[in-house]
Structure 1
Amino acid sequence: MLDGAAAERCPTPVRRQSRLKGRCEGVFWRRTDRQEVRRITLAARRYELVTRQPGARSGALGFVALEVLEYLANLVDYKTGRLDPAIETLMSRLRRSRDAIVRALKALRTHGFLDWLRRYVPTGNEGRGPQVQQTSNAYRLSLPARALRLLGRFGQPSPLPDDFDATQQRRTAGYDAYRASLSPVELVAETIEDPALRAVLTRLGQGVERESGRRTESQSKFLFYRD
């Protein structure tokens, strides 16, 4: 919630229940993955069909809400859950009016597919004038239980095949054998992603290979002369 001191200094107060950007998202956003996001969008489409009355053009969500949800699903950061596009971004990308976007967001929130936190940021004004201003919301996708039931077996993780463990073991053994066959230089090129570190280790590996080659050659000459 916006603190009282900030509200008093701000002649154009931000909306109620707004939180300071950068201080509230840690406990709101959560990590997700492609499968979970896909379940949410699929459940929303089925929910829309189930709630559409005979003769009606749309169901409880509406086609604009489905468009918004699909766009948010493509935008969310799986690792952090970060999702905070501005209303103007949604309007521009989906070519919809502000009213249509706002109604769609409210429908998604009402039916449990979306939640958000209002946020504000400091303006940087040192004298008179607004000290804070509204910024984009922090959004979070969710899957309501009543929509999850509509997915049936699609809402459950796919079972692993019977030979999954044996297949994984064969793949691991094959990869280990492949790595064991590599020279030091080839192993560096295969496993090190950082270019600078890879270059340093490659030079070291090449030096080791040259030294090893010289020793092998010396030993071969020694054995030849002894014979």
Structure 2
Amino acid sequence: MAVITVGAASLQALGVLRPGRKARSGATHCTGAPVLRDSVEAGTFEEVFFAAPAKGETDTILRAARRARDAGRRLRRDVRVEGRSLTGLEGQLAALTDGAVRVLEEILTLARLNAGRVYPTYDYLAEATSLGRATVARALHVLDAIGFIVRQRRFKRVEAQGPGPRYEQTSNVYRACLPAGILRYLPRWMRPAPLPDDMLQREADRIEDTRAMLAGLGCRDLARAVIVDGPLAKVLAKFGAVIDEREREYHDDPQPLTDSSHSLPKRVGLAGQHSLA
């Protein structure tokens, strides 16, 4: 079964899928446009994606990244000296370089100055950090793998005359995070304090109430609740409305029973007559 990503579903909702072209990655790209796979149209999701950092949050993430870089250095030394093998996360920490931390620092600076709205180009990051474009690309890959950033590819519509694609790649969007996986590599004073039991119980109650609320929604309302806005939400809401309507028709006019149950006693009666004869 083919897997449809959010980006592909968004394009399909816009009605722009056309088979037969190649993406930069070498895979077939249905739009025929020079955009990368899993890209989402700019302007359709950013309000949900962006989040303004809390006071001191960017400094906390940067300190954690520097401590994680130091832990990666120790892991690389252990590999050289002891010949030990690294786990998946340890291998990613070992790949965390000074350049990657510098790129993260620039993303955090933009997040702090722009209320979390971060969408620099590779060229901007290369110039701001004095690193090569390829180095920036590798740094973003490492930061994404560890969990320090969440990034989403985007494409935008372009005006063009005649036949040809009407879309092109634009800059990615980024959101900085503190990955939970690295907490055990941080000093105790840098780890978040555990939540009180009453707050944990309130959060568990909230999750249960949300689950119960979603379970009681129809298909149309569920599509609107899960996907906040955009063309994909509208398409799924229409599909959900059709499903809800069919469900109502089924309950209002259920399929009548067949005559097999009514004919059974007659057959039994006939059998009885033959047996008496």
Q: 2:68 aligns with which of 34, 37, 47?
A: 47
What is the correspondence of 1:148-159 to structure 2 with a 5 Å cutoff? 148-149=183-184, 150-156=186-192
- TM-score where L is the length of structure 1: 0.62
1:29 aligns with 2:50: yes
- State the alpha-carbon separation in 2 of the partners of residues 113 and 131 from structure 1: 33
The residue type paired with residue 145 of structure 1 is: A
Q: 1:130 aligns with which of 165, 175, 187?
A: 165
Spell out, residue by residue over 1:28-78, the C-alpha distance to the aligned partner (whole angstroms, 9 max, x if none): 11121341111111001101111222289x933111101101111111146
- Gaps spanning 5+ residues in structure 1: where? 158-227
**Residue of structure 2 equivalent to 1:198:** none
Question: 3-state DSSP class of the match of 1:116?
Answer: strand
Do the aligned partners of residues 77 and 36 (structure 1) sit closer, same or farther apart at CA in structure 2, a change above 3 Å counting? closer
The residue type paired with residue 47 of structure 2 is: G
- State the alpha-carbon separation in 2 of the partners of residues 152 and 102 from structure 1: 32
**Residue of structure 1 equivalent to 2:16:** 6
- State the alpha-carbon separation in 2 of the partners of residues 124 and 22 from structure 1: 16
Question: 3-state DSSP class of the match of 1:148?
Answer: helix
Range 142-151 or range 83-92, more displaced: 142-151
- TM-score where L is the length of structure 2: 0.51
- Percent of counterpart pairs with the same letter? 32
- State the alpha-carbon separation in 2 of the partners of residues 120 and 77 from structure 1: 25
Q: Is the contact made by 2:35 and 2:155 (CA closer than 8 Å) also made in structure 1? A: yes
Q: Is the contact made by 1:43 and 1:151 (CA closer than 8 Å) also made in structure 2? A: no
**Aligned residue pairs: how many?**
157
**Residue of structure 1 equivalent to 2:174:** 139
Q: Which has the higher contact order (CA 8 A, sep 6+)?
A: 1
Question: 3-state DSSP class of the match of 1:107?
Answer: helix
CA-based RMSD: 2.5
What is the correspondence of 1:151-170 to structure 2 with a 5 Å cutoff? 151-156=187-192
Q: Is the contact made by 1:6 and 1:131 (CA closer than 8 Å) also made in structure 2? A: no
Do the aligned partners of residues 62 and 98 (structure 1) sit closer, same or farther apart at CA in structure 2, a change above 3 Å counting? same
What is the correspondence of 1:10-89 to structure 2 with a 5 Å cutoff? 11-52=32-73, 53-54=76-77, 59-77=94-112, 80-89=115-124
- State the alpha-carbon separation in 1 of the partners of residues 43 and 51 from structure 2: 15
Q: Is the contact made by 1:68 and 1:105 (CA closer than 8 Å) also made in structure 2? A: yes
Deviation at 1:119, TM superposition (A): 0.3
- Gaps spanning 5+ residues in structure 2: where? 1-6, 19-29, 80-92, 194-277
